[in-house]
Amino acid sequence: MIGKFIVFEGVEGGGKTTQIELLRDWLLGKGESSQVWSKSIDLEVVITREPGGTKLGKALRELLLSPDVLAEKIQETAELLLYAADRAQHIEALIKPCLERGAIVLCDRFIDSTIAYQGYGRGLNLELIKQLNYIATGGLESDLTLWLDIDVEIGLARAKNRGKIDKMEQASIEFHRRVQRGYQELSKNNSLIVGINANLTREEVQKQIQGIIMQKLVEWSYI
C-alpha cells in the first residue's frame, strides 16, 4: 500500500465530519492556513466513512441508523455483523484501491468504533469483535487514528443541536459513557491512536490535528 489511511474516531458530536473537511482543504492547499508546500505536492485526498462508504454501505447505514426504517429491532449480534459487512465491502471496494493508487484516505470511523460501541457500549465479547474486525479488514490497519476526545455531554449536545437524531444518539447517557471508556482504553493500549482535545473551538481542534499531520508527513517522507 503506498497511500496513507487516517481514521477519525470518537463519541457522537466530536466534530469528526467538520475536522475531516478542514483537514482535506488544508492538505490540498485550500485552507486559509495551508502551507506553501501543500500546493506543490500532487495529493489525492479521499473522504469516506463507516458505515456508508460504498453503495452497499449506504443501504446498510440506512438499516442500522434510521430509527424507523425497519419495523423490528436489529439484534445486537446482527448489528455487529452488519457493521462488519459494511467494513468488508468498504475495504475491498474503496479503501484498498485508493491506497494502492497512493491516495490519502480520511475515514470517519473504523474498527475502533466497533470495539467502543458494540464491545464497550453493548457489552459484546471483545475477543470475538477483534476476530471479526480481522476478517472484515484482512488485517489492514490505519496508519494513524485521531481520537477526537470530547466530553460525552458536550458531544451529544452538539449532535442534538444539529437536528436529526439517529438510533445511536437515542441511546442512554450510560451507553455513551461506556463507549467513551472504550476509547480511553483503546488509546492507552495503542500508540497509533492519538488523542485530540475536541472540547475546543473548530479552529483550535484543527490546529492540533494539523500539527500531528505535519509531523506524520515528514515521517512518511511526503515533505
- Within 197-216, which residues bind ligand Z5A (CB under 6 A)? 201-202, 205
Q: Is 63 a residue that touches ligand Z5A (CB under 6 A)?
A: no
- 123 backbone φψ class: left, alpha, beta (φ>0; ψ -120 to 50): left
Q: Is 108 a residue that touches ligand Z5A (CB under 6 A)?
A: yes
Among 162, 174, 219, 220, binds ligand Z5A (CB under 6 A): 162
Among 6, 7, 16, 120, binds ligand Z5A (CB under 6 A): 16
Alpha-carbon separation of residue 3 from 44, 117, 180, 209 (angstroms) = 9, 28, 30, 19
Minimum CB–partner distance for residue 114 and ligand Z5A (Å) = 4
Q: Is 15 a residue that touches ligand Z5A (CB under 6 A)?
A: yes
Give the Cα separation of 24 and 28 in Å (integer): 6
Q: Is 26 a residue that touches ligand Z5A (CB under 6 A)?
A: no
User: Contact 75/93 with Cβ under 8 angstroms?
Assistant: no
User: Contact 9/148 with Cβ under 8 angstroms?
Assistant: yes
Residue 126: which of 182, 193, 192 has the closest Cα?
A: 182
DSSP assignment letter at 198:
T
Minimum CB–partner distance for residue 130 and ligand Z5A (Å) = 13
Cβ-based nearer residue to ligand Z5A, 157 or 218: 157
Count CB-CB contacts under 10 A for residue 178: 19
User: Contact 48/106 with Cβ under 8 angstroms?
Assistant: yes
Among 94, 168, 212, 214, binds ligand Z5A (CB under 6 A): 168
Among 38, 48, 54, 113, binds ligand Z5A (CB under 6 A): 113
Q: Is 50 a residue that touches ligand Z5A (CB under 6 A)?
A: yes
Among 12, 106, 178, 180, binds ligand Z5A (CB under 6 A): 12
- Within 129-158, which residues bind ligand Z5A (CB under 6 A)? 158
Distance between first and last Cα of the chain: 19
Contact residues for ligand Z5A, defined by CB under 6 A: 12-18, 50-51, 65, 83, 108-109, 113-114, 117-118, 158-159, 161-162, 166, 168-169, 201-202, 205
